[in-house]
Amino acid sequence: MNKKLKIAMLPGDGIGPEVMQETYKIIKIIKKKSNLNLKIKKYDIGGIAIEKWGKALPKKTLKGCEKSHAILLGSVGGPKWEYLPSHQRPEVASLLKIRKYFNLFANLRYSILHPKLYKLSPLKKKIADKGFDILCVRELTSGIYFGQPSLEIKKKNKHYAIDTTIYHKNEIKRIAHIAFQEALKRKKKVTSIDKSNVLQTSKLWKKTVNQVSQNYPEVNLSHLYFDNAVMQIIKNPHSFDVILCPNLIGDIISDECGILTGSIGMLSSASLNEKKFGLYEPAGGTAPDIQGKNLANPIAQILSLALLFKHTFKLNTISKKIKLAIQKTLLKGYRTLDISNGKKFITTDQMGNEIIKSLLEEYNNEKNFISKNI
């Protein structure tokens, strides 16, 4: 029997369960066609877990994740839980907590625009039709998100709040290594983003990234200030390859890159620790406005599955098949609401079914290729 491959599936809130449903259909096809011993177990996380278990990240969920090889997450949060104090909200109490718990410091977010799909992008044709392929490497378990103290203070006649940005040199080093290693597999270009004209943590960031770069002479490194970077990315996304960012900057830059592909509904991500244990999730959020309407774009979730096959299971051919199937479906002209440009669109489950059709075509092509070449 093949090695058992265990995935903990955490659909979460908002559109999470809908897009996960489509991803599950894809998993079943892959399991059968590639003859894999895949085991999927579902657990609650986020608002739904607060409702059912009184906690955004129940023990049972954590234990289930620990027993698995990878976590496939939907999204967490929503208006229903916004009244809660921030540390109890699903985003903080489950998402940030699970990232920290498994030490998932390396967040890889891919934004890819095929030149033929330039119309999807909000950018002008002459910029978008060159296409782009950007990997944003975001530090995910430190910086201002986790620095202490983080407080709101009310005194007699004073009312203020504090957040703290801390970066230890070793935290910068390890994420920089990831960026350079990924760049070696791509166009060998790293752009590191900081605000080192003002911030101390950014000065240390820049210095450390320069030091780490000495180990990668083949990789071309440049630095941009954050404010300039957001402009340059809009002006010429094609010129970027790997973008390396501290936590908060990466949060913003990755959304920017995502929307340039047409929709953050297509932005997938992998969050990895030193052992390459990973959590895979779309980066677009719960989209409560379209929740339950069968309108969400399942592509980011399905692409996150492709990343899982690549990074955790090291099954790159399967990962590529999924990516090709998505690209092919888009090239055939199928669109969900978010990328429809006011024109005809299909529903979440129809998009899932179209991607399955394209995926089956990929499997058949492979079979024909093998039989032709024997």
Residues forming the site for Mn ion (CB under 5 A): 251
Residue 354 binds which one of Mn ion, ligand IPM, none, with CB within 5 to 8 A depending on kind? Answer: none
Number of residues that bind ligand IPM (CB under 6 A): 5
Q: Which is nearer to Mn ion, 18 or 251 (CB)?
A: 251
Min dist. Cβ of residue 30 to ligand IPM (A): 26
Query: Residue 16 CB, nearest distance to ligand IPM (Å)?
Result: 12
Least separation, in Å, of the C-beta of 234 and Mn ion? 18
Q: Are strands 70-75 and 4-12 parallel, antiparallel or unpaired?
A: parallel
- Distance (Å, rounded) from C-alpha 344 to C-alpha 291? 20
* Of the residues 251, 256, 338, 354, which one makes contact with ligand IPM according to CB under 6 A: 251
Q: Does 113 participate in binding ligand IPM (rule CB under 6 A)?
A: no
Site string for ligand IPM, 90-109 (x = CB under 6 A): -x---xx-------------
Q: Pick between residue 76 and residue 359 the one whose CB is nearest to ligand IPM.
A: 76
What is the residue whose two structure tokens read 């990668």? 216
| Binding site partner of 44, from ligand IPM, Mn ion, none, Cβ cut-off 5-8 A by kind | none
CB closer to ligand IPM, 19 vs 96: 96
- Strands 268-272, 37-42: pairing is unpaired
Write down how long the chain is: 374
Two structure tokens written together for 136: 């944003």
Min. distance of Cβ 124 from ligand IPM in angstroms? 27
CA angle 253, 81, 301 (to 5 degrees): 45
Q: Which residue of this chain has its Cβ atom nearest to ligand IPM in the complex?
A: 91
The 3-state DSSP class for residue 162 equals strand
Helix/strand/coil percentages in the chain, nearest 5: 50, 20, 30
N-term to C-term CA, the chain: 26
Least CB distance from residue 82 to ligand IPM, whole Å? 12
Residue nearer to Mn ion on the CB measure, 142 or 358: 142
Does the protein bind ligand IPM through residue 137 (CB under 6 A)? no
Coil/strand/helix, residue 199: coil
CA distances to 17, 29, 121 from 116, rounded to whole Å, are 31, 28, 11
283 binds ligand IPM (CB under 6 A): yes
* Structural tokens at position 8: 């903990």
Span near ligand IPM by CB under 6 A; candidates 7-15, 89-97, 119-127, 324-332: 89-97
Q: Identify the CA nearest to 167 among candidates 197, 137, 226, 208.
A: 208
Residue 3 near residue 36, CB atoms below 8 Å:
no
In this complex, which beta carbon is closest to Mn ion, that of residue 260 or of residue 359?
Answer: 260
* Cα–Cα separations (whole angstroms), residue 335 to 21, 24, 120, 346: 18, 20, 10, 6
| Residues with catalytic function | 145, 195, 227, 251, 255
Q: Residue 91 touches which of ligand IPM, Mn ion, none (CB < 5 to 8 A by kind)?
A: ligand IPM
CB of 283 to ligand IPM, least distance (A): 5
Of the pair 14, 58, the CB lying nearest ligand IPM is at 14
d(CA 247, CA 213): 20
Q: Give the footprint of ligand IPM on this chain (CB under 6 A).
A: 91, 95-96, 251, 283
